[in-house]
Structure 1
Amino acid sequence: MMNPWRLRLLTQLDALGTVRAVAQAANLSPSSVSQQLAVLETETRTQLLERTGRRVRLTSAGLILARRARVILDHMDSVEAELRGFGEEPAGLVRLGAFQSAIHTMAVPAVTRLAREHPHLDVELRELEPHASMPALRAGDVDVIITTTDVDELPLGPDVDLVPLATDRILLVVPPGHHAVGRGAVDLAALADEPWAFDMPHSYMANLALRLCRQARFEPRVVCRFSNYMMALQHVEAGLSITLLPGLAVHHSRYRVATRELATPVTRDITAAIRRGSPPRAAVRVVLDVLRDHPAPESAQLLGPRDVR
């Protein structure tokens, strides 16, 4: 008899790559994770792991079991939800991961509507940036994610289904009295001498902003870095910097800032993603439907209903 908890540890090892990463995700010690995986090998009577130097990797049998385990665990979640709601309506727990600028504009309104329309459905909302949300989805830590699909940043695979939600524009954000205000679309090359606020190194927006500045043939003078868009907007509002932000992140009602389109438009596709395998349970389907049907924020263009691809 295979233990579902140990199967989940195995799927996390497949997704995260190291025992240490699995231990951090599961709030366990690495030795405890190794011990539980060894027990799983005993339960299955199959070698699932092999050691290469200091690292542990899955054998061919381990890879097969990890892929099958995701389907098994998803099916168990579906059965549990059906028992809880007696099949009458979506029920159970759905874990939804979303990046920072989509939390208040897309995820919270969807969760609010779900709470009103489906009282037996529990949605656990987690802030996960795109570089972290896809591994969390594959590991089974979340059931649905709102993410961006920049192929260079997030390689996709046959194990993930995508549901298009919206297209978001990347905007230049400046103080109200800045010389770029009122000029229409802006060429970044004209801003080479400006002080810039950037996201944290190696994040999606930091990488994108740096790439756009370099394409405009200058190295930006970065005077601050914030992991929170609200802090970046406050810094710009104070006249201390300018920045590039997704349209979803800019709250004109809260901050006195001005935005300008870029001369060469840049957009990002926002999608929901789920694990591919057995048909998604009713609770996951209704979360996807509400996300897709919710009105797009002013800064984003809503995509029409489409089939999962």
Structure 2
Amino acid sequence: MLSPWRLRLLTHFESLGTVRAVADALDMSPSSVSQQLTVLEQESRTALFERHGRRIALTPAGVRLAVHAREILRRIETAEADLAEQRSEPVGDVRIASFSSALHALVLPVAARLRSRHPRLRIVATELEPHDSLRALRRGDVDLAIVYDFADGWLPVDDQLHRVRLTSDPVVVVLPADHPLAADGPVELAALAGERWVMDHPGCYLCELVVRLCRRAGFEPVVAGRYGSYSLLLEHVQTGLAVSALPALAVDERYDVAVRELADAPVRTIFAAVPAAPAPQPAVRVVLRELTARGAAI
């Protein structure tokens, strides 16, 4: 009979790619990992690995078994969580992948709220962009992914995943506090044609979106800085040296900047995604319910 423990080692190997990486992740020795994978191969009576010098790789049969293993392990976790819920309350780790502004506005507040209500339930958060979050969810590396979609075909459709709408988030203009337009109502982007801009890195969705909006307004933005961190971006605006456009949830209230509505602003919808089957574990359902309530409040 196949051992669930060794099946879990197989899924780690399929995700991480090397025996040493699996050993480091699980605090084991490489020789112990190799030994357990060899036993799994014997249990399966199938060639799961092929050797390339001192390295091993999965055969097609090994890849297929890894897919089955993730489903088997997920069902075992569901059964264990159901039993735990019958005994007392939701327990265990709920692994969430999310983009940064949703971590700040949704995930961390929910984690803090649940800590007092369900002390044996723990949220383990990882910052990932939506496409990477969905890949991690499909692999079984996380239990829940928080993603956004501007309804423009950017985010792939996957029938194996179930989406739950959390909230909507418009793009806003971020200005220095003493900017001439800081006290006005909605801002027309064309009014900022002569400004210097700070943006995300080229190739990132938000950067490309802002550039498209500026071009649609009739100008090419002059870029004064590019940052992968919204904190640095907001700090740059705070100095008075540039302007920016960000989703509203990305604007941290600790920075002394002016936030104004953008005329005809694009709006992104924020979703939580979970596997369509099997049904989410009880702990995941509790977290999803709290995320939905938090999103509705926002």
TM-score using structure 2 length: 0.80
Match of 2:173 in 1: 172
- Tell me what 1:16 maps to: none
Q: Within 1, Cα distance between the matches of 2:159 and 2:36? A: 29
Judge conservation of contact 2:84–2:90 (CA < 8 Å) in 1. Answer: no
Amino acid at match of 2:79: V
- C-alpha distance 212-57 of structure 1, shift in aligned 2 (>3 A): farther
- Contact kept? 1:12, 1:140, Cα under 8 Å: no
1:95 corresponding residue in structure 2? 95
- The alpha carbon displacement at 1:195 in A equals 0.8
Q: Is the 8 A contact 1:11 1:139 kept in 2?
A: no
Question: Is the alpha carbon distance of 1:47 and 1:128 closer, same or farther for their aligned partners in structure 2, counting shifts above 3 Å?
Answer: same
Render the CA deviation track for 1:211-258: whole Å, top value 9, x for unaligned. Answer: 222333432211111222122111111101101111012234x22211
Q: Distance in 2 between matches of 1:216 and 1:40?
A: 61
- Residue 5 of structure 1 deviates from its aligned partner by 1.9
> What secondary structure, in the 3-state scheme, does the structure 2 residue paired with 1:294 have?
helix
Q: What is the letter of the counterpart of residue 276 of structure 2?
A: R
1:12 counterpart = 2:15: yes
Aligned to 2:265: 265
Q: How many Å apart are 1:294 and its aligned residue?
A: 2.0
Q: Which runs of 5+ in 2 are unaligned?
A: 52-56
Aligned in 2, Cα 1:136/1:35: closer, same or farther, shift over 3 Å? Answer: farther
Q: Which secondary structure does the structure 1 equivalent of 2:179 belong to?
A: coil
| 1:227 to 1:208, Cα distance in 2 relative to 1, 3 A | same
Tell me which amino acid in the other structure corresponds to 1:231: L
> Partners in 2 of 1:163 and 1:50 — Cα distance?
41
How many residues end up aligned between the 2 structures? Answer: 284
Rounded Cα–Cα distance in structure 2 between residues aligned with 1:172 and 1:180: 10
Paired residue for 1:238?
Answer: 239
1:280 Cα deviation after fit: 1.0
Q: Secondary structure of 1:122's match?
A: strand
Q: Give the residue type in structure 2 aligned to 1:221.
A: V
* Structure 1 runs not aligned, ≥5 long: 14-18, 301-309
Say whether the 8 Å CA contact 2:98–2:147 is kept in structure 1: yes
**Cα deviation, residue 40, structure 1:** 5.7
- 1:28-57 CA-to-partner distances (Å, cap 9, x unmatched) read 9xx999998887665434466899xxxx88
AA matched with 2:7: P
- Equivalent in the alignment of 1:290: 290
Aligned twin of 2:186: 185
Larger Rg: 2
Structure 1 residue 148 displacement after superposition: 0.7
Find the aligned partners of 1:34 and 1:155 in 2 and give their Cα distance: 37
Flag the 1:211–1:63 CA change in 2: closer, same or farther, 3 A. farther
Q: Which residue of 2 aligns with 1:147?
A: 147
Opposite residue 244 of structure 1, the aligned amino acid is: A
Kept after mapping to 2: 8 A contact 1:10/1:37: no
Paired with 2:59 and 2:204, the residues of 1 have a C-alpha distance of: 29
Which residue matches 2:229? 228
**Does the CA-based 8 Å contact 1:90-1:286 persist in structure 2?**
yes
* Conserved? CA contact 1:134–1:145, under 8 Å: yes
In 1, Cα distance between the equivalents of 2:38 and 2:276?
28
SS in 2 for 1:97: strand
Distance 1:125 1:108, change over 3 A: same
Other-structure match for 2:74: 74
Assess, with a 3 A threshold, how the Cα gap between structure 1 residues 240 and 140 changes in structure 2: closer, same or farther. same
Q: C-alpha displacement at 1:58, in angstroms?
A: 7.1
TM-score normalised according to structure 1 size: 0.78
* Contact 2:97–2:146 (CA under 8 A) maintained in structure 1: yes
- Shift of the 190–87 alpha-carbon distance from structure 1 to 2, 3 Å rule, reads same
Which has the larger displacement, 272-281 or 206-215? Answer: 206-215
Shift of 1:118: 1.3
RMSD value, Cα: 3.3
Identify if the C-alpha distance between structure 1 residues 119 and 264 changes in structure 2 by more than 3 Å, giving closer, same or farther.
same
* Structure 1 Cα separation of the partners of residues 171 and 201 of structure 2: 17
Q: SS state of the match for residue 126, structure 2?
A: strand
1:172 to partner: Cα distance: 0.8
